[in-house]
Chain A
Amino acid sequence: MGDILGLVAKRLGMGLIILLVISIIIFFMVELLPGDIAQAVLGQGATPENLAALRKEMGLDQPAVLRYLHWLSGAVTLDFGNSIVTGASVAQTIGERFANTLFLAAYAAAIAVPISIVLGVLVALLRNSIFDRVANVATLTSISSPEFFLGYILILYLAVKTGMFPAIASLSNDMSFGDLLYRTFLPALTLVLVVTAHMMRMTRAAIINLLASPYIEMARLKGTPPWKVIVKHALPNAWAPIINVVALNLAYLITGVVLVEVVFVYPGIGQALVDAVSKRDFPVVQACCLIFAATFILLNLAADVGSILTNPRLRHPK
């Protein structure tokens, strides 16, 4: 077991280092601006007094490294400073939105993961049949479509024309959980369509890869029935690739969520990021980017750790 713990610790350490490097990138990219943030925010026409006041407020009179350390120590305690545009605390502005985004992603994942893994395994078993080919074309089409295309089609047919679901996913605090699920169904469905296609294809590839191994043929030649070949011989070895597929696609959800939130006017962190970028509200942009990147890294890390833990060769060292 010592081996495994060592490997896991190593991965965790790597993840932390990458996160640190990314925080440096995110923070210091803003330093590339000509002049400084204050200049960029207030534009060419700003008076020297205004500039000086804003600089003082943002602590720009201090050296960059000090400001970075200050920002980082704040970020660790979820304090990202104040928005330049509204003056409100960044953590408060995006905190609730982040929860909304996580809810939407979880909603989509809860539908997509089981469906796509089952379908992926099924298509792998029926490989080269007509269903496999139809599934191939369908998933390829779904992957190639931009999220807003799928989103608007769903709005057009399921909201505008038939009125089955609301087109705009507005949330309020006193909604029941069922109501919440109903109102956010369309954005979730859009995400499901994209992610399911990805996951199905990857699951299929992973399973087919596995079915070509000699030990699967051996199991068949031992007279093991087909379902048992899959369940007993393929699946225990398929966990690592499947975990990878799931984590990769959850990470993909995080990115896809930005466009979907804009289409459905969903009050999530993606909307906040897009607004902040167009208003050049740098503290918000930095905070959002850091949160997205951290989630992304965390998921990849989870996948790595998952595949280490399910690898029989590592679990039972010599």
Chain B
Amino acid sequence: MPKKKDVLLKIRDLKIQGYSDESWIDIIKGVDLTLHRGEVMGLIGESGAGKSTIGAACMGYARDGTRISNGSIEFDGMELTTASESERRALRGSRIAYVAQSAAASFNPAHKIIDQHTEAPLQYRLKKRLEAQEDAMDLYERLRLPNPKEIGFRYPHQVSGGQLQRAMTAMAMSCRPDLIIFDEPTTALDVTTQIEVLAAIRDIVDQFNTAAIYITHDLAVVAQMADTIKVLLKGEEVEEASTKEMLDNPKEEYTKSLWAVRSFESPQRHRPKDGVPLISIRNVDASYTGGDKVLDDVSFDIYEGMTVAVVGESGSGKSTTARVITGLLPPSKGEVLFKGEPFPPSYKDRTKDQLRQCQMIYQMADTALNPKVRISEIIGRPAAFYSGLKGVALKNRVDELLDLIELEPSQYYNRYPPELSGGQKQRIGIARALAAEPTFIVCDEVTSALDQLVAEGILRLLDRLQNELGLAYMFITHDLATVRSIADEVVVMQHGKVVEQGPKDEMFTPPHHPYTDLLLSSVPEMDPNWLTTLLEERGVDNVGDAAAARIDPKDPKITGVNA
């Protein structure tokens, strides 16, 4: 990549404050940043690190409820902090553009995509309307959108998420800016869709030699996109280095710990010979009231003390399967067996003991714990409800459970959920499930809302509890790294069907069902050349939806599995 050496953006000692609880608090505590023309910098950090706030500040923009309190932001020789609002506004859209996380929410539903695209060029009188539209179509084509001549004349809600995200990138390019801020542009997308967007973004940035700031929490993604990486923690810089150096040789402890996260792997267990499965899902069909079939002939078994990971993209039916097992959604066909005995389809008809056997841990610890109830009651209630514990016995049981999840009982006993951190809340959620003394726990994306380090702690805890208490887990996840670290068996789902299942070690060695292949190969890896290699292997037109559509239903590997 040819690099001009002149500096485009220079930020010095930037401090930004946020307004909360009637006072201003520093959220960015003095960050420096230097970006050259044509350079792509990855800003990476966990939630609350201040990445997005810095991204907006690069445009001289402070979101509602924040203010730039100190420091200088110099864009191409112009000081943004002292510039007038109209001077700053004149840069936005024309020389600095922005790509937001959710394209679906960031396109105005009332206007056609192409009208929103041409708004900035017309505003700055760079092009006539027709020229601008021609240019938009050209950009759509370069970004490999289907029907580039026609797609712009649709309304945002008529276009899919991955395509909208590319259309938004095209919109950012409309004035050929010097700098584009990408604010988590692929976070809301499925892995297979993510690739096509990543490839498109990288291409277009390359073609026009645009500088970019790429904000994300995903290390593997940033490794594909950025020339240099800056790591942030709680509003402060941890370190900055070129991508290669950062990956091979991180200096700071915090960075090293981020890199080390994916090292945990529990040893694989195997099914007992001719035992009865603990939970057995038999030919289940299910649909929500009045809707299409969400599950189509789903069958798999979960054995005692083992972890089955259910993998798939959004809409594949993994969460619906969990709802069928717990009885929230009675199946329209098929049944769920518990130790060989059929479970009543609706939870309302199950006995207390049947309910006790099967517990759940949720993705969002915030909504899974009642904010107005003390920890002691959240954990104590199931113990009192199922085992009839009272008084001292109940308190001892709660203490024991808090010990089990590695929280100091005396410290947490009387507190409320909002006072805890995300990881601690998730631990309370685990304790609540354990309090019922179950044999089986459904874990619904339990780590995906957590930062990586915290998630790792939760996975280790779950693994330890499994060994100590002999629990069986059904692990719903879209993250293959999680599967690798904790699963014993894997079930891959697509469009409500099980496309492949088997022990983990087999699932991670080819040959596979083509969908599993696609899914596995679409997960970004730390190797900076991963995306390049993948695109070379597959061809640029064979990613994402296109690739999924290309799967041949007569492929022997498919018929082999379903036969």
A220 to B93, CA, bound (A): 9
A318 to B160, CA, bound (A): 11
Asked if A223 and B92 make an inter-chain contact with CB atoms under 8 angstroms apart, the answer reads: yes
Asked if B105 and A214 make an inter-chain contact with CB atoms under 8 angstroms apart, the answer reads: yes
Among B94, B105, B108, which residue has its beta carbon within 8 angstroms of that of A219? B108
User: Is there a chain B Cβ closer than 8 Å to A136's Cβ?
Assistant: no
CB contacts (< 8 Å) of A225 on chain B: these are: 89, 123
Asked if A223 and B110 make an inter-chain contact with CB atoms under 8 angstroms apart, the answer reads: no
Question: How many of chain A's residues have a CB under 8 angstroms from any CB in B?
Answer: 22
Asked if A223 and B109 make an inter-chain contact with CB atoms under 8 angstroms apart, the answer reads: no
User: Is there a chain B Cβ closer than 8 Å to A183's Cβ?
Assistant: no
Q: Mark B154-188, 1 if CB is under 8 A from A, else 0.
A: 11011000000000000100000000000000000
Given contacts A218-B98, A224-B123, contact A312 B110 (CB under 8 A): yes
A273 to B172, CA, bound (A): 63
Q: Mark A200-239, 1 if CB is under 8 A from B, else 0.
A: 0000000000001111011111111100100011001100
Question: How many of chain B's residues have a CB under 8 angstroms from any CB in A?
Answer: 31
A237 to B158, CA, bound (A): 17
Q: Mark B82-107, 1 if CB is under 8 A from A, else 0.
A: 00000001111110011010100111
User: Is there a chain A Cβ closer than 8 Å to B458's Cβ?
Assistant: no
CB contacts (< 8 Å) of B120 on chain A: these are: 222-224
Asked if A312 and B155 make an inter-chain contact with CB atoms under 8 angstroms apart, the answer reads: yes
Asked if B100 and A214 make an inter-chain contact with CB atoms under 8 angstroms apart, the answer reads: yes
User: Is there a chain B Cβ closer than 8 Å to A316's Cβ?
Assistant: yes
Q: Closest approach, in angstroms, between the C-beta of B269 and any C-beta of chain A?
A: 45
Among B64, B89, B105, B107, which residue has its beta carbon within 8 angstroms of that of A223? B89
Residues from 236 to 284 in A contacting B, C-beta threshold 8 Å: 236-237
Among B108, B119, B154, which residue has its beta carbon within 8 angstroms of that of A237? B108
Asked if B111 and A236 make an inter-chain contact with CB atoms under 8 angstroms apart, the answer reads: yes
CB contacts (< 8 Å) of B59 on chain A: these are: 221
Given contacts A214-B100, A214-B105, contact A220 B110 (CB under 8 A): no
A213 to B108, CA, bound (A): 9
Among A215, A222, A232, A318, which residue has its beta carbon within 8 angstroms of that of B158? A318
CB contacts (< 8 Å) of A224 on chain B: these are: 93, 119-120, 123
Residues from 128 to 145 in B contacting A, C-beta threshold 8 Å: none
A290 to B164, CA, bound (A): 51
Given contacts A213-B105, A237-B108, A312-B110, contact A223 B123 (CB under 8 A): yes
A221 to B91, CA, bound (A): 9
Asked if A215 and B107 make an inter-chain contact with CB atoms under 8 angstroms apart, the answer reads: yes
Q: Mark B224-237, 1 if CB is under 8 A from A, else 0.
A: 00000000000000
Asked if A318 and B157 make an inter-chain contact with CB atoms under 8 angstroms apart, the answer reads: yes
Among A220, A233, A312, A313, which residue has its beta carbon within 8 angstroms of that of B61? A220
Residues from 281 to 303 in B contacting A, C-beta threshold 8 Å: none
Q: Closest approach, in angstroms, between the C-beta of A255 and any C-beta of chain B?
A: 34
Among A217, A222, A228, A313, which residue has its beta carbon within 8 angstroms of that of B109? A313
Question: Taking each of A215, A228, A312, which has the highest tally of chain B beta carbons within 10 Å of its own beta carbon?
Answer: A215
A-B contact count (CB 8 A): 77
Asked if B111 and A316 make an inter-chain contact with CB atoms under 8 angstroms apart, the answer reads: no
Among A212, A218, A228, A233, which residue has its beta carbon within 8 angstroms of that of B100? A218
Q: Mark B25-45, 1 if CB is under 8 A from A, else 0.
A: 000000000000000000000
CB contacts (< 8 Å) of A212 on chain B: these are: 64
CB contacts (< 8 Å) of B97 on chain A: these are: 221-222
A313 to B158, CA, bound (A): 9
Given contacts A312-B155, A316-B155, A316-B158, contact A221 B107 (CB under 8 A): no
CB contacts (< 8 Å) of B106 on chain A: these are: 214-215, 217-218
Q: Closest approach, in angstroms, between the C-beta of A6 and any C-beta of chain B?
A: 16
User: Is there a chain A Cβ closer than 8 Å to B270's Cβ?
Assistant: no
Asked if A218 and B107 make an inter-chain contact with CB atoms under 8 angstroms apart, the answer reads: yes
Chain A residue with Cβ nearest B98: A221
A218 to B171, CA, bound (A): 11
CB contacts (< 8 Å) of A222 on chain B: these are: 92-93, 97-98, 119-120, 123, 171
Given contacts A233-B108, A237-B110, contact A220 B100 (CB under 8 A): no
Q: Mark A55-88, 1 if CB is under 8 A from B, else 0.
A: 0000000000000000000000000000000000
Q: Closest approach, in angstroms, between the C-beta of A10 and any C-beta of chain B?
A: 16
Asked if A223 and B94 make an inter-chain contact with CB atoms under 8 angstroms apart, the answer reads: yes
User: Is there a chain A Cβ closer than 8 Å to B63's Cβ?
Assistant: yes
CB contacts (< 8 Å) of A220 on chain B: these are: 61, 92
CB contacts (< 8 Å) of B90 on chain A: these are: 223
Question: Taking each of A218, A219, A220, A223, which has the highest tally of chain B beta carbons within 10 Å of its own beta carbon?
Answer: A223
CB contacts (< 8 Å) of B91 on chain A: these are: 223
A107 to B94, CA, bound (A): 48
CB contacts (< 8 Å) of B100 on chain A: these are: 214, 217-218
Asked if B105 and A215 make an inter-chain contact with CB atoms under 8 angstroms apart, the answer reads: yes
A217 to B94, CA, bound (A): 16
CB contacts (< 8 Å) of B171 on chain A: these are: 222
CB contacts (< 8 Å) of B158 on chain A: these are: 316, 318
Given contacts A220-B92, A221-B59, contact A215 B157 (CB under 8 A): no
CB contacts (< 8 Å) of B123 on chain A: these are: 222-225, 228
Asked if B92 and A215 make an inter-chain contact with CB atoms under 8 angstroms apart, the answer reads: no
CB contacts (< 8 Å) of A236 on chain B: these are: 108, 110-111
Chain B residue with Cβ nearest A127: B64
A316 to B171, CA, bound (A): 22
CB contacts (< 8 Å) of A215 on chain B: these are: 105-109
A232 to B115, CA, bound (A): 11
Residues from 14 to 41 in A contacting B, C-beta threshold 8 Å: none
Chain B residue with Cβ nearest A316: B155
CB contacts (< 8 Å) of B108 on chain A: these are: 215, 218-219, 233, 236-237
A219 to B124, CA, bound (A): 14
Chain B residue with Cβ nearest A317: B158
Asked if A221 and B155 make an inter-chain contact with CB atoms under 8 angstroms apart, the answer reads: no
CB contacts (< 8 Å) of A318 on chain B: these are: 157-158
A236 to B93, CA, bound (A): 22
A190 to B154, CA, bound (A): 48
Q: Closest approach, in angstroms, between the C-beta of B351 and any C-beta of chain A?
A: 43
Lowest 4 CB-CB distances: which A-B pairs, in order? Answer: A223-B93, A223-B92, A236-B110, A222-B93
20 A–B pairs (Cβ distance < 8 Å), ordered by A:
A214-B105, A215-B106, A215-B109, A217-B63, A217-B100, A219-B108, A220-B92, A221-B97, A222-B171, A223-B90, A223-B92, A223-B93, A223-B120, A223-B124, A224-B123, A228-B123, A312-B157, A313-B155, A313-B157, A318-B158
* Given pairs A218-B98, A222-B98, A236-B111, 16 additional interface contacts (CB within 8 A): A215-B105, A217-B63, A219-B108, A220-B61, A221-B56, A221-B61, A222-B119, A222-B120, A223-B91, A225-B123, A236-B108, A236-B110, A312-B157, A313-B109, A313-B157, A316-B157
